[in-house]
Structure 1
């Protein structure tokens, strides 16, 4: 007889969603501490999963995001048969994401109906968007019985960081430790309607540098131009990590900062899972749908009549939902947290 319930979770493809998925992993462990949780996910998310102690094994999805690859998905599923999973939980709603679990002969395959995938799921759930208003609630609910009371209690994501990993990034980037480090995350993969103006970030950077803070800029290769503008306006006194780190290194670096100013982005969720003091700026997206899961987070949203529109670019051409949030307001919120313990 098996000593644990062996679960395969098919993970999401976005950084923020993968962080929120940890709430599901924690909930599964709380319900059955002896269960084993493996996660099938894009290879670039594996460094996040390594920092989630609830996950036993991370399995890299061999196909890039968006590729159908029917034959490859069938082969992947068959290769997983020897693992003997008792249940699969599918977080993506796509038809193709369910193919490997079907061909892995997993007896219970749980997920939302999504793209009409009744034949691939045998524990198909209908998503009640009125009761499950948050992404994290939708993830956690899939780990509960069908008749469970909703919305569920959602554990807070908590990435684990080792001193060795912290020291490794300190040594690699030749950093000087400081009790006052501000992280700025000016990017947002979804589009410009989620990005606070770079000149506003620059004003915050200048002000904190003048007060003796270090300011670190985080982001991907796509954010380098914005980060360069911010750093130029700050007389080159920021430490710019955009495009210079792996996701793993970015997580470990973020663990060293005190405060974070960020758009609604994957890095926002990383910072929240590291229990950082966060000021999260929302424009076209909804802070009620994907909020930072952290009691220390402060959300700024102007709640304009046209927001949230969920558009990549402002359909009205002005992004007042972002430009109306002034640097002074952000600086005031940072000041309120400075006397609080990290």
Structure 2
């Protein structure tokens, strides 16, 4: 008589709320799926498309939550629907509210880092490293698997080529026939390369440039478009400004097929890394030692580690939203020629 196979372990992954962090959880999910767990990801609507680009995910549930507040009634309602559906939950965010749903749903194993007074909500508690000692975020998330050797993990995203090509066709674009620029960084201006530098780079590229970003970044993209116009009003570069005009799913399609991506340290930077596209990632107030684009085709520009740059940037990384010293040298002094060298 054949031995009965053990039942598949049903896992709920509570996703981070930021696009870049969502991408950086992919190696964790790959590890869990490789050892036989069936993965359901619970994610906020604005990051859910990232998980649909991960083949190891069996199902994506869009959480009906908004920023801020416990929204306890909504969490209890959803927890009741989930009762008995999962054996284990991996809770990626460190917040109290992110651990509430698995607790209320009675999921037997609840794995997460200690933080925000949620000791009683977790059954498997991991020590949260001090902020200055935290490993790169991919390793931080991968460690939730309980396995070692997580430092070398690299995120991988995948889209159906037919779906991506249909998106490109609707916009009159072809694979590798354009560049993508993502000039935004929601955290603040100390992470944003100046728009004049983006515009100068666009003028030097030999293919059309697609500008991507949220509606909040429409003004930044409009500045780049305006700066690419000559004195007579003629365009000095072919620009397709799609800021605020695409869904995240469409943005993923556009990035997956680009000739190259130029961005700040942002969520779309990590999307480009996940697809393995050629990219230039520009760092200012943040650090590529903590959130690098893990991609063999990525080139990081960060003046902090450039020995030829003088005087040295002793202030970097400051991790501030706005430059405390008022000069933002870390970004202003990276010119378009430096980026062009890698495209």
Shared fold (TM-score greater than 0.5)? yes
Other-structure match for 1:184: 181
Greater shift after overlay, 132-141 or 265-274?
Answer: 132-141
- Check whether the contact 1:182–1:258 (CA below 8 A) recurs between aligned residues: yes
How far did residue 70 of structure 1 move? Answer: 1.6
Aligned length: 323
The superposition leaves residues 132-174 of structure 1 with CA deviations (integer Å, 9 ceiling, x where unpaired) of 5111111000111xxx54x624432221112221222123223
Q: Does 1:314 find its partner at 2:323?
A: yes
How far did residue 273 of structure 1 move? Answer: 0.6
Task: Tell me the SS of whatever aligns to 1:43.
Answer: coil
Other-structure match for 2:309: none
Cα root mean square deviation, aligned = 1.6
Other-structure match for 1:35: 37
Q: Does 1:228 find its partner at 2:230?
A: no
Other-structure match for 1:93: 94
Structure 1: gaps spanning 5 or more residues: 335-342
For residues 53-202 of structure 1, what are the structure 2 equivalents within 5 Å? 53-83=55-85, 85-129=86-130, 132-144=134-146, 148-149=147-148, 152-175=150-173, 177=174, 179-202=176-199
Counterparts of 2:39 and 2:55, CA distance in 1: 10
The superposition leaves residues 17-60 of structure 1 with CA deviations (integer Å, 9 ceiling, x where unpaired) of 00111111012123x1x310111110122211111111111111
Q: Does 1:269 find its partner at 2:270?
A: yes
Counterparts of 2:197 and 2:317, CA distance in 1: 21
Greater shift after overlay, 66-75 or 38-47?
Answer: 66-75
Counterparts of 2:209 and 2:334, CA distance in 1: 20
Other-structure match for 2:307: none
- Check whether the contact 2:139–2:153 (CA below 8 A) recurs between aligned residues: no
**Structure 1 runs of 4+ off > 4 angstroms?**
129-132
How far did residue 182 of structure 1 move? Answer: 1.7
How far did residue 309 of structure 1 move? Answer: 1.0
How far did residue 65 of structure 1 move? Answer: 2.0
Counterparts of 1:259 and 1:167, CA distance in 2: 17
